[in-house]
Amino acid sequence: MKKTNIEIALSQDLEPITDIAEKVGLNRDEIYLYGDHIAKIKLSAREGREATARTVLVTAMTPTRAGEGKTTCAIGLNDGLNRIGKRSIVALREPSLGPVFGMKGGAAGGGFSQVLPMVDINLHFTGDMHAVTSAHNLLAALLDNEYSRPRGAFLLPKNVIWNRVIDMNDRALRSIVLGLGKAAGQVREGMFEITAASEIMAVLGLSRDLDNLKARLGNLIVAKSSNGDPVRARDIEAQGAMAILLRNALKPNLVQTIEGNPAIVHTGPFANIAHGTTSIVAVDMARRLADIVVVEAGFGSDLGAEKYFNLVSRRPGMVPPDVVVIVATLRGLRHQGGVSPKEVDDPERRGGGRRGWTTSANTWRT
């Protein structure tokens, strides 16, 4: 009988994460442990190591709703490269807690191409998602707090554009009215988005270091003032406290594949609203620790891969991929050929008159 992903994951013997760190040349004092099988790599580990690794970008044809296996393929490719003696690291995004309890399951691969410890990675992991949630909501709370100050008197509630986030598929929070009652600023409509969709997640994934992160946080636009100018996080002096909340979340997380090869799993931006790959800190770190880095880009090539080429790889110190792997499946081909989503697993179906089925872009908003 076929084992489930979680059964496979739980049946594996994991190597100590200190051993994995050692494989990629990291000393014990260059990492922070989070239990026995997860570590964060200190940013100072970049010093004295050149970012020289080749980059392999794993993308896909426009996928069906179920996904076509980019993560699985990237993990398997990394394991294969290691098996033939290459020093390779796979760099993936962190799964969001929300969808874990929703329909899509986790994002830690599947079958024998998983990163471990799967349950921890899928749940709280090293708290990065929680840190993004806290920083995002702190900014929201500080903004509402402005109503109790003189300068807040001119901030009309409908001009506030900064929402709140929660790492949960909680549909009842998608449209709310907040600030009711006597003591709580102004009443207004708002919403909770899912944490992975936070602009702070994007900012975290694109920052080089804590100073750069702090500057980007300060630039976040949170409202429109009455004269039409943007109000930014730095206008309410929020970036410092936010950066403190995010200082550990900026450090990439080291885990292992089922075959005991190194994997960096860091930040979780969606490709439809952000860049859709792991952080530049993660890719850059991996490129300093290995000869080959396998990076997965979200959704189809027109989303994650395009953004990787045009946006991520153009950041300072980043480079375009040396190789691109495009995952294509018979199911996806049938889907694009016009077969309805329900019938794509039937090898006899060949698509009909209705060409150009495209998936709705799997948007996750809490």
Interface ranges with a copy of itself (CB under 8 A): 32-36, 40, 97, 101, 119, 123-124, 127, 130-131, 133-134, 137-138, 140-141, 144-145, 147, 153-154, 156-158, 164, 166-181, 183-189, 226, 241, 244-245, 248
Q: Give the residue from 182, 191, 199 showing the smallest Cα distance to 273.
A: 199
Report DSSP letters for 136-196, one per residue: HHHHHHHHHHGGGSGGGGG--GGGB---EEESS--GGGSSEEE--STTSS--EEE-EEEGG
Beta carbon nearer to a copy of itself, 82 or 239:
239
CB of 263 to a copy of itself, least distance (A): 20
Beta carbon nearer to a copy of itself, 221 or 241:
241
Between CA 212 and CA 217, with CA 215 as vertex, the angle to 5 degrees is 110
Token pair for 199: 């602009």
CB of 322 to a copy of itself, least distance (A): 35
H or E stretch at 131: helix 128-145
How far apart, in whole angstroms, are the C-alpha atoms of residue 289 and residue 284?
9
Beta carbon nearer to a copy of itself, 135 or 283:
135
Beta carbon nearer to a copy of itself, 254 or 283:
254
3-state class (DSSP) for residue 115: strand
CB of 343 to a copy of itself, least distance (A): 26
CB of 246 to a copy of itself, least distance (A): 10
Question: Which residues make Cβ contacts (< 8 Å) with residue 115, sequence separation at least 6?
Answer: 75, 90, 92, 108, 109, 121, 255, 256, 257, 258, 263, 265
Beta carbon nearer to a copy of itself, 13 or 348:
13
CB of 146 to a copy of itself, least distance (A): 11
Question: Which residues make Cβ contacts (< 8 Å) with residue 6, sequence separation at least 6?
Answer: 118, 119
CB of 237 to a copy of itself, least distance (A): 12
Cβ contact 109:72 at 8 Å: yes
Beta carbon nearer to a copy of itself, 244 or 311:
244
Long-range contacts of 103-111 (CB under 8 A, 24+ apart): 104/67, 104/362, 105/5, 106/5, 107/71, 107/268, 108/9, 108/71, 108/265, 109/5, 109/71, 109/72, 109/75, 109/257, 110/5, 110/69, 110/71, 110/72, 111/5, 111/8, 111/72
Beta carbon nearer to a copy of itself, 39 or 286:
39
CB of 38 to a copy of itself, least distance (A): 10
CB of 109 to a copy of itself, least distance (A): 20
Beta carbon nearer to a copy of itself, 74 or 231:
231
